[in-house]
């Protein structure tokens, strides 16, 4: 059977723990530094708390060390990795290949989506150099994903939900070039979410003040079975900057859907962690932040309607009946002029919404609820618990306990057995396992109901059982370790100049070791004339607008096109053979 992992994001330790409670098999979280979300850093002690909780359920903790690293930072990264290894982190998510040349402990390494893995050759290379898991680029089709999964022996990880970067990850230099804040250093300024004016070669306006590079959010809940069938083993939810209620809701939704699919194929798949998550609400994805949903390129190499040019803000859920609104809800709508505005609901009077300020809702306008006060109040409370099933067997001398992780312990029954004054139900006593991670499943007892053990003795016995189970589980936890590197395996594109994200001598050494002849430094080290291409994307503005150059009936466009926002001006180039769009700095 293939182990299936639902991988949830965590901005902090509390969110990570709730993600696991709500059904995650693993979480990814930022460490003290060098993560691709600079504002989602966490201390070693906070990550230790997550590790201790996650490992109870055999869930894993991955720490993002996925920025490019400067030479002056290499020793600091090395020390941080030792600290993470010491507290039991399961793996590091890595972009900078210089890390593979550091003197680090044998912790498992995962290739970040920042590595831009889009084909079989790149995936096989990453497997050969020692990565234990590969995070694929978001832009792939199901067929391309299947080809990669068939070609490698290590688990393949795919994003299944959340925000989409318009550029191939790791290859967007727009923020670095325009603001000095590098996406490859965890400081993306999100230039792609800005409004742009699109002009042709004659400076004619083709689109004005539109978010032409802003994509809808990914949602694959309805095609998870197809991703499973393609060979995906790890299903990744985006959102290390998202809040608690987002992670609870999305994690619960995908966990329940995976369980439903796996129940149909019990001989093919199983969850990689243990424990039953009891969700105390009905997950609903459109109640969490979203810009509208798309399957992106999964089902079509040339999809349309994947962008959200009207606004980069949350579209929430569409409300058909205003009577379902509650005081304190937040709603949004488009004005007759196309502006996206919001208001708080103060009440409903007849068929009219009373807002906290005057507003005019255009006739026929869709109402989007972007804040559901009642929903938020539910998620603000305890909304899930997770339990491990436990079997207990008692005879006159010993108690044996075995949980669903396969941990089995035997403790002596050092209790005085007396004659009962009234029938005693031993099972009902062991049903009460208190605020522990266990839930009694099967119970066998050779003692008769005419025999009696004092409550204090049974309490101590339960304590001994649980304590022994916990210590045994910790001692038997199995780690994945770093795989060996095949130094003779050549980089698949060694003939071309390598210029993406090499920011330290160790990364240069790595690529030279694998046959790359010429390497240019990353833009973050210093902009040079070859750094002309700021972004490469499968999202094509021409296709999205219905002007695809491959369409004979298209509107005639005077190329080249330019994108302008404020004092920023970019030129667009189109590679119709590869079906890619390039955003150029000049």
Higher pLDDT: 523 or 17? It is 17
Long-range contacts of 444-450 (CB under 8 A, 24+ apart): 444/392, 444/393, 444/394, 445/393, 445/394, 446/394, 446/395, 446/396, 447/394, 447/395, 447/396, 447/417, 449/420, 449/423, 449/424, 449/425, 450/419, 450/420, 450/423, 450/424
**Is residue 422 predicted with pLDDT exceeding 90?**
no
Q: How many residues does the chain have?
A: 586
53: helix, strand or coil: helix
Distance of alpha carbon 462 from the chain centroid:
38
Taking the C-alpha atoms of residue 317 and residue 248, their distance in angstroms, rounded to an integer, is 17
Instruction: Take residue 546 and report the two structure tokens written for it.
Output: 């219905």
**Ramachandran assignment for 231, one of left (phi > 0), alpha (psi -120 to 50 degrees), beta (any other):** left
pLDDT value of position 502: 93
Cα dihedral 450→455→460→461 (10° resolution): 20
Task: Using alpha carbons, select from 222, 204, 113, 193 the residue that is nearest to residue 159.
Answer: 113
551 pLDDT tier (thresholds 50, 70, 90)? confident
Q: What is the mean pLDDT of residues 152-169?
A: 97
Q: If pLDDT is split at 50, 70 and 90, which confidence band does 449 have? A: confident
518 vs 298, residue with greater confidence: 298
Find where tokens 């930022």 sit: 30
Note the pLDDT of residue 331: 97
Residue 10's nearest CA partner among 83, 84, 61 is: 61
The larger pLDDT score, comparing residue 301 to residue 107, is at: 107
Mean pLDDT across 226-242: 97
Cα four-point dihedral sign 394, 399, 400, 403: positive
Q: What percent of the chain has pLDDT over 90?
A: 82
CA distance 157 to 112: 10
Residues 166/168/169/175 CA torsion (nearest 10 deg): -60
- pLDDT at residue 223, rounded to an integer: 98
**Which domains does the chain carry?**
2-169+216-284 (3.20.20.380), 293-379 (no CATH), 395-475 (no CATH)
3-state secondary structure of 204: coil
Instruction: State mean pLDDT over 3-27.
Output: 98
Residue showing tokens 């009696």: 452
Which of 231, 298, 228, 237 has its CA nearest to residue 260? 228
User: SS3 for 580?
Assistant: strand
Mean pLDDT across the stretch 343-361? 93
Chain Cα centroid distance, residue 81: 21
Band of the pLDDT at 519, cuts 50, 70, 90? confident
CA-based end-to-end distance of the chain: 52
pLDDT at 497 over 80: no
Q: Answer yes or no: is pLDDT of 495 > 60.
A: no
- At residue 496, the pLDDT reads 60
Least-confidence region, from 131-135, 403-407, 416-420: 416-420
Residues in Cβ contact with 327 at an 8 Å cutoff, skipping those fewer than 6 apart: 345, 346, 347, 373
Would you put residue 357 in left (φ > 0), alpha (ψ -120 to 50) or beta? beta
Q: Could you give the angle at which helices 44-54 and 74-86 cross, rounded to 10 degrees?
A: 40
* Longest distance between any two alpha carbons in the chain, whole Å: 100
Under 8 Å between Cβ of 196 and 211: yes
Q: Has residue 470 got a pLDDT over 80?
A: yes
CA distance readout (Å), 346 to 211, 282, 323, 324, 354: 31, 26, 13, 13, 5
- 409 upstream amide cis, omega within 30 of 0: no
Q: What pLDDT, in 10s, does the model give residues 42-65?
A: 999 999 999 999 999 999 999 999
DSSP 231-286: T--EEEEP-TT--HHHHHHHHHHHHHHHHHHHHH-TTTEEESS--EEEESS---GG
Do β-strands 293-294 and 196-199 pair in parallel, antiparallel, or remain unpaired? unpaired
Residue 489 predicted with pLDDT over 80: yes
For position 490, what pLDDT does the model report?
A: 93
* Cα 495–Cα 496–Cα 497 angle in degrees, nearest 5: 125
* pLDDT higher than 90, residue 103: yes
* Confidence (pLDDT) at 494: 62
The predicted pLDDT at position 429 comes to: 86
Please determine, for residue 95, whether its predicted confidence score (pLDDT) is greater than 60. yes
Query: Could you tell me how far CA 476 lies from the centroid of its own chain?
Result: 28
When pLDDT is cut at 50, 70 and 90, the band that residue 290 belongs to is very high
Nearest by Cα to 157 from 8, 1, 261 = 8
1/332: higher pLDDT? 332
Beta strands in 446-558 (DSSP E): 451-452, 533-537
Which residues are CB-contacts of 72 (< 8 A; sequence separation ≥ 6)?
none
pLDDT (mean) for 357-383: 94
pLDDT (average), residues 357-362: 92
Mean of pLDDT values over 441-446: 94
The whole-number average pLDDT for the span 13-21 is 98
pLDDT of residue 248: 98
Mean pLDDT, all residues of the chain = 94
pLDDT of residue 218: 98
Residue among 170, 211, 220 nearest 66 (CA)? 170
> Rounded to an integer, what distance in angstroms lies between the CA atom of residue 21 and that of residue 29?
16
Distance separating alpha carbons of residues 303 and 299, to the nearest angstrom: 8
What's the confidence (pLDDT) of residue 499? Answer: 67
């Amino acid at each position: 059977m293939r182990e299936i992992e639902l991988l949830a994001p965590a901005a902090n330790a509390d969110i990570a723990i709730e993600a696991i409670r709500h059904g995650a098999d693993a979480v990814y979280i930022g460490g003290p530094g060098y993560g691709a979300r600079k504002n989602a850093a966490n201390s070693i002690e906070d990550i230790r708390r997550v590790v201790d909780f996650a490992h109870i359920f055999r869930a894993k903790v991955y720490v993002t060390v996925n920025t490019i690293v400067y030479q002056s930072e290499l020793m600091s990264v090395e020390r941080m990795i030792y600290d993470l290894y010491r507290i039991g982190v399961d793996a590091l998510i890595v972009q900078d290949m210089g890390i593979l040349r550091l003197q680090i402990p044998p912790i498992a390494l995962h290739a970040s989506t920042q590595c831009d893995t889009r084909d079989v050759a790149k995936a096989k290379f990453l497997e050969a150099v020692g990565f234990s898991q590969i995070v694929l680029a978001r832009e792939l089709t199901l067929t391309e994903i299947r080809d990669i999964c068939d070609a490698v022996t290590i688990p393949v990880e795919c994003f299944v939900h959340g925000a989409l970067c318009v550029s191939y990850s790791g290859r967007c230099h727009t923020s670095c070039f325009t603001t000095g804040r590098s996406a490859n250093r965890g400081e993306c300024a999100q230039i792609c979410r800005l409004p742009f004016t699109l002009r042709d070669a004659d400076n004619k306006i083709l689109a004005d003040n539109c978010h032409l590079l802003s994509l809808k959010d990914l949602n694959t809940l309805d095609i998870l079975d197809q991703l499973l069938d393609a060979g995906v083993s790890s299903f990744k939810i985006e959102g290390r900057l998202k809040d608690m209620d987002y992670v609870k809701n999305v994690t619960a939704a995908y966990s329940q859907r995976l369980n439903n699919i796996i129940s149909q194929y019990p001989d093919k798949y199983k969850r990689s962690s243990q424990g039953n998550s009891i969700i105390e609400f009905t997950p609903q994805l459109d109640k969490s932040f979203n810009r509208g949903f798309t399957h992106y390129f999964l089902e079509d190499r040339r999809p349309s309607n994947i962008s959200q040019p009207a606004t980069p803000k949350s579209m929430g859920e569409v409300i058909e009946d205003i009577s379902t609104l509650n005081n304190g809800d937040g709603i949004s709508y488009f004005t007759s002029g196309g502006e996206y505005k919001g208001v708080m609901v103060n009440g409903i009077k007849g068929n009219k919404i009373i807002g906290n300020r005057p507003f005019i809702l255009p006739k026929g306008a869709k109402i989007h609820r972007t804040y559901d006060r009642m929903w938020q109040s539910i998620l603000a409370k305890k909304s899930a618990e997770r339990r491990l099933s436990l079997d207990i067997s008692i005879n006159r001398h010993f108690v044996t306990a075995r949980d669903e992780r396969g941990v089995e312990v035997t403790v002596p029954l050092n209790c005085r057995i007396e004659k009962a004054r009234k029938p005693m139900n031993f099972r009902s006593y062991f049903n009460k396992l208190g605020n522990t991670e266990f839930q009694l499943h099967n119970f066998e007892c050779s003692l008769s109901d005419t025999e009696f053990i004092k409550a204090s003795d049974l309490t101590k016995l339960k304590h001994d059982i649980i304590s022994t189970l916990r210590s045994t589980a910790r001692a038997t936890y199995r780690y994945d370790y770093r795989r060996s590197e095949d130094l003779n395996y050549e980089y698949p594109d060694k003939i071309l100049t390598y210029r993406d994200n090499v920011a330290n001598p160790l990364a240069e050494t790595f690529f030279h070791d694998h046959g790359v002849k010429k390497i240019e430094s990353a833009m973050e080290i210093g902009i040079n004339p070859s750094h002309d291409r700021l972004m490469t994307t499968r999202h094509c503005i021409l296709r999205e607008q219905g002007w695809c150059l491959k369409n004979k009936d298209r509107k005639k466009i005077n190329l080249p096109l330019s994108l302008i926002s404020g004092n920023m001006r970019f030129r667009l180039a189109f590679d119709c053979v590869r079906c890619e769009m390039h955003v150029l700095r000049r």
